[in-house]
Structure 1
Amino acid sequence: MELLVEQFASLNLLNQFWITLFLIIPMVLIARTVVAGTRYSPILIIVIFGLSMGYILVHTGVAEPGITAFPMVNMVASSTIIALIVSFFVGGQELRKIFSNKPLKNEEMVIPSSQEAVLGTTRTQIVMIIRAFFLLIGIEGATRTLIGTSTSSLSDVYPLIAYIGIVGSIIFIDNRATITNKSLYIRKGILEIVGIIFVLYAAYLIAETIEPLIALPQIFFAMIVSALAGAILYRWSFGPTIKALLFAGIPVVLAGNFMVGGSRIGEAFTIEGMGAVLSYGFFGQLFFMFGGIAVLMFFAKTNHVRNLAPGMAGALSHSGLTGACTAGDLGAEAASRAPIMINIPFFGHVFVFSVLAISAENGALWIWPSLLIVAVGLAFTILALKHLRIANHDDAKEIKALMQFSFGWQLVAVFGGLLLLTLSTIAFDYSGMAQASAISHFGLFAAIQEGMFGAESANLIPFIFSMPFLVHPVVFFMFGKAMKDGGKMPIKTVYIISAIGVIGLMISLFVI
């Protein structure tokens, strides 16, 4: 009997691996094919395909809401923090260079192959997408083994998953790419894997140690440790691990999350009060994104993507825009600036997560600290707009002004939104989900996914977080149009969309 159980477990693992691989990788490749030859981001298509796939799996009876029948898909969906650690590391490198006046360019060890393997995706890119998948399951499996987390039917085989993922990621190197030193390049990739696992484990231990004092989420400490590591190792040239996760980590994670979110569409709409949460998330995307762009346009007199894309990616910790920037979809300048802007607001998360942790314990927002944080955010935003207006296209001045804006607008958006939500009838745990989705905030999403607002919110957040991505046709259409027009965003259209967002937000809060 034991032998039969072991054989079944082994068969289940292999089935889960191949099913997950063939569900997620084609989704990312098809998305890139659809937008091939345009300036639009494939994340827009990943949203549609992911939600549809999750819904179809449940509708056809193949899976239940949450797709627990596919635990490896859930592993990929819950590996958000792994993709973010790489962005934090790169951001730490860039910040060190800026503050120490060391504009160094790290040695590039790889010349990618330009041969197109799939329409819209080169050989090197397809290898990085597959490698990112292996890395996410491998590192997640290794971390769960170290921590002792048991969250699925695969918990007994986490070490084997870790082995398959890590070995697979080492093997997948594009043989058509030109690599200056192959053995060193592979060794760098292995060291980067070990480094990410160390950051995850260290962040977990720190979070567990201070939990009796304040329940800060693991992602907060992961950000600090990885950014610090980047600042120390600012000369580190990227190996295959960082390259793959920068390029494809966020799209692969989002594909998994959208599948899980899509599977809960039917279930979520039956929950009382969910209509207001979803409406707030939808119109919040329009208001906080395009309202921030409108502020930059009107007061800072800038409407170029090199400022707007990384500025808003950092200011909202926006998952979709972050993925589009780091993948290079919005130009080289946005790609280089985005990791910096993503890091800066997270230094303010000591206030964000501490206030939210206390608020979650009390079941209501802690008002006076929230008001103070919004005031500080407004001060930084005003200062940033002034500096950006007089930057006169100077790269260093623009970056420093955008850093101030990212920090300031993030505080205004997160706590301004939560203060607005206190005026409505939406419960506080639902308010956290609503605000995370309204700004596509990766950090807040990961914290809720870890259980900051309880088990129900942790289960529902993939769906709540996914639905406002239906606004992304507007977001990426606008950025895509700007890229086609030399990087300039259409000003009047942005103002109109912002006004629609304001009206929709008020209806969500006080009418629905």
Structure 2
Amino acid sequence: MEPLLHAAPHFDLFNQLWLTLFLVIPMVLIARTVVAGSCYSPILIIVIFGLALGHVLVATGAAQPGLPGFTLLSLLSGTTVVVLAAAFFAGGQQLRRLFGALQVPPDDSMQPCTEETLLGTNRTQLMFVLRAVFLLLGIEAARRVFMGADSGPLVAYYPLIAYIGVLLAFILIDHKATLRNKREYLGRGLAEIGVLALLLLLAGLLAQTLRPLIALPTIFFAMLLACGLGALAWRWQFGPTLRALLFAGIPVVLAANFVIGGSRIADAFAIEGMDAVLAYGFFGQMLWMFGGIALLMWFGRTNQVRNLAPGMAGALSHAGLTGACTAGDLGPMAAQRAPIMINVPFIGHIFVFSILAISMEQGQLLWGAALAVLLGGVLLTVLALRTLGRAAGAEAQEVKGLMQFSLGWQLTAMFGGLLLLALFALPLEHAALAKAASLSHFGLFAATQDGMFGAEAAGLIALIFSMPFLVHPFVFFMFGRAMANGGAMPRWPVYALAGTGLIGVLLALASF
């Protein structure tokens, strides 16, 4: 009987793996099927299905709030930093090529198979989705092994999870895709896995080492290392690892987080003051997203998705819009520009994370520093709108203006919102939850998930971050309409949504 007793946890682990795959992968694929043939992004459907599934699991008694029994799903939801590291690497490459006026030959190392396996998803894309799940689990588990994780129900199984994840990710290559050199392509994939794991390990060690001086999150160092490495390796052609993570990484991570967030819907509304935080996140999403688009359209004189989508993805470090851009849902130009725009505002994260880390140590927001950064953001936003207004369709000028706007509006939205919340005496940890939600800000989400604002905020962030995604029917509907209209965004609906967001934010602030 003794061997059977010892075998049970292993069977439980594999049950968890099948359960995670069953919950996440169909959600991503069904979302792609629902929007197949339209101009809308599957992220919208993932939001709705994820929140509904999490709520149903708890309402039917199949799970507890927070899904504590779904340990592998929880691990997958915490892999945000892995996806962002891949995006930062791609952005670092694009920035180096842009500023250095460097040309690279077209990447012909892999031509995807266009045969549809499911409606809206071809064979190669299906493999990317499957591969992304195993890559995220494998790389995150490996990172925790090397970091010496010593707590949690999965701690004894991290080496096994890392082995299974990397092994299955290695073999999940679409055999009907056209590969220029199979061994080289597979080798690139293995090299990318190793480099990502090493990069995240170094980022974690730096965060731990500097924590006594300043409590900067792991994502901050991952950003700097990945962007710098991308700038150095600007000639690198993507292997299967980066291709899968850039295509499906964000949808997979969001799907896992939305299921967990949905399970805490009833729970969160019982917490005192959380209604106002949720309201600010919801209406703040409207204000900062459509307010930014309105500025670009009115003063920047551009209503084209090629500018609005990557510009707002960068300006808000916006998780959903970033995923839609990098997956190619909003056109090839937006997909090409998005890695640049999501990297540029992370220069501003030097201020964001530094000021927030010091503020947490002191127990309140540093007003002087926040005001100074806000002023810089406003000035940079004005400069960006002036640059875009004079671009007249010239690509170099558009990219320059969008880079300025991405940084300027990011600082304006972040510190403008934090100062407003501090003015209404909201505790800093609740203000961080509200701001992460009101911008769908992936970096602040990852930092909160990492424990930067305490255990309570880390436990609530999946739900607080999820709820404003209910605004995304408006976001993706508007971008879908624009794509159907030749890339031109309708003006008056944008102004109306921005106005609604402003009114809602003022009402939410009044309720604090």
Map 1:122-133 to 2 at 5 A.
Answer: 122-133=122-133
Provide the secondary structure at the position in 2 that maps to 1:237. coil
| CA distance, structure 2, for counterparts of residue 3 and residue 156 of structure 1 | 17
Equivalent residue for 1:490?
490
Provide the secondary structure at the position in 2 that maps to 1:68. coil
Provide the secondary structure at the position in 1 that maps to 2:102. coil
Q: CA deviation at 1:106?
A: 4.7
TM-score normalised over the length of structure 2:
0.99
| CA distance, structure 1, for counterparts of residue 5 and residue 390 of structure 2 | 69
Given residue 353 of structure 1, which amino acid in structure 2 is its aligned partner? F
Q: CA deviation at 1:103?
A: 3.2
Equivalent residue for 1:210?
210
Given residue 109 of structure 1, which amino acid in structure 2 is its aligned partner? S
Seen in structure 2, the aligned counterparts of structure 1 residues 150 and 120 have a Cα distance that, compared at 3 Å, is: farther
Q: Deviations over 1:252-302 (max 9, x none)?
A: 000000011011111111000011000000000100000000111111110
Equivalent residue for 2:298?
298
Provide the secondary structure at the position in 2 that maps to 1:117. strand
Equivalent residue for 1:340?
340
Equivalent residue for 2:46?
46
Equivalent residue for 1:499?
499
Equivalent residue for 1:85?
85
Q: CA deviation at 1:209?
A: 1.3
| CA distance, structure 1, for counterparts of residue 164 and residue 129 of structure 2 | 16
Q: CA deviation at 1:108?
A: 2.5
TM-score normalised over the length of structure 1:
0.99
Does residue 422 of structure 2 align to residue 422 of structure 1? yes
| CA distance, structure 2, for counterparts of residue 284 and residue 13 of structure 1 | 40
CA contact (8 A) 1:138 1:166 kept: yes
CA contact (8 A) 1:273 1:426 kept: no
When the two structures are aligned, how many residues end up with a matched partner? 512
Map 1:111-510 to 2 at 5 A.
Answer: 111-510=111-510
Q: CA deviation at 1:425?
A: 4.3
Q: Deviations over 1:365-414 (max 9, x none)?
A: 11010000001111111111111111111111111110111011000011
Q: Deviations over 1:394-439 (max 9, x none)?
A: 1111111101110110000110000111122432211100010000
| CA distance, structure 2, for counterparts of residue 68 and residue 250 of structure 1 | 22
| CA distance, structure 2, for counterparts of residue 134 and residue 311 of structure 1 | 31
| CA distance, structure 1, for counterparts of residue 106 and residue 221 of structure 2 | 26
For structure 2, the 5+ residue unaligned runs are: none
Q: CA deviation at 1:53?
A: 1.1
- Report the RMSD for the aligned CA atoms in angstroms: 1.0
Given residue 476 of structure 1, which amino acid in structure 2 is its aligned partner? F
Q: CA deviation at 1:66?
A: 1.1
CA contact (8 A) 1:106 1:237 kept: no
Given residue 47 of structure 1, which amino acid in structure 2 is its aligned partner? V
Q: CA deviation at 1:104?
A: 2.3
Seen in structure 2, the aligned counterparts of structure 1 residues 2 and 158 have a Cα distance that, compared at 3 Å, is: farther
| CA distance, structure 2, for counterparts of residue 67 and residue 426 of structure 1 | 28
| CA distance, structure 1, for counterparts of residue 345 and residue 394 of structure 2 | 22
| CA distance, structure 2, for counterparts of residue 510 and residue 202 of structure 1 | 44
Provide the secondary structure at the position in 1 that maps to 2:186. helix
Given residue 145 of structure 1, which amino acid in structure 2 is its aligned partner? V
Q: Deviations over 1:88-136 (max 9, x none)?
A: 0000000000111113245231111110000110011001000000100
Given residue 350 of structure 1, which amino acid in structure 2 is its aligned partner? I
| CA distance, structure 2, for counterparts of residue 232 and residue 2 of structure 1 | 54
CA contact (8 A) 1:277 1:426 kept: no
Equivalent residue for 1:62?
62
Q: Deviations over 1:201-224 (max 9, x none)?
A: 000111111111111000000000
Equivalent residue for 2:71?
71
| CA distance, structure 1, for counterparts of residue 214 and residue 302 of structure 2 | 41
When structure 1 is superposed on structure 2, of 256-265 and 2-11 the one drifting more is 2-11
| CA distance, structure 1, for counterparts of residue 299 and residue 291 of structure 2 | 12
Given residue 65 of structure 1, which amino acid in structure 2 is its aligned partner? P
Q: CA deviation at 1:65?
A: 1.2
Q: CA deviation at 1:464?
A: 0.2
Equivalent residue for 1:18?
18
Seen in structure 2, the aligned counterparts of structure 1 residues 468 and 207 have a Cα distance that, compared at 3 Å, is: same
Provide the secondary structure at the position in 2 that maps to 1:134. helix
CA contact (8 A) 1:66 1:263 kept: yes
CA contact (8 A) 1:43 1:323 kept: yes
Q: CA deviation at 1:511?
A: 3.3
CA contact (8 A) 1:106 1:236 kept: no
Seen in structure 2, the aligned counterparts of structure 1 residues 297 and 157 have a Cα distance that, compared at 3 Å, is: same
CA contact (8 A) 1:143 1:201 kept: yes
Given residue 259 of structure 2, which amino acid in structure 1 is its aligned partner? M
CA contact (8 A) 1:108 1:237 kept: no
Q: CA deviation at 1:148?
A: 1.6
| CA distance, structure 2, for counterparts of residue 259 and residue 171 of structure 1 | 28
Given residue 48 of structure 1, which amino acid in structure 2 is its aligned partner? I
Provide the secondary structure at the position in 1 that maps to 2:299. helix
Equivalent residue for 1:3?
3
Which 4+ runs in 1 deviate beyond 4 A? none
Q: CA deviation at 1:59?
A: 1.4
Provide the secondary structure at the position in 2 that maps to 1:300. coil
CA contact (8 A) 1:106 1:235 kept: no
Seen in structure 2, the aligned counterparts of structure 1 residues 67 and 150 have a Cα distance that, compared at 3 Å, is: farther
Provide the secondary structure at the position in 1 that maps to 2:290. helix
Given residue 452 of structure 1, which amino acid in structure 2 is its aligned partner? M
Q: CA deviation at 1:155?
A: 1.2
Q: Deviations over 1:18-40 (max 9, x none)?
A: 11011100000000000011000
| CA distance, structure 1, for counterparts of residue 267 and residue 470 of structure 2 | 18
When structure 1 is superposed on structure 2, of 217-226 and 420-429 the one drifting more is 420-429
Seen in structure 2, the aligned counterparts of structure 1 residues 2 and 149 have a Cα distance that, compared at 3 Å, is: farther
CA contact (8 A) 1:112 1:178 kept: yes
For structure 1, the 5+ residue unaligned runs are: none
| % identical aligned pairs | 57
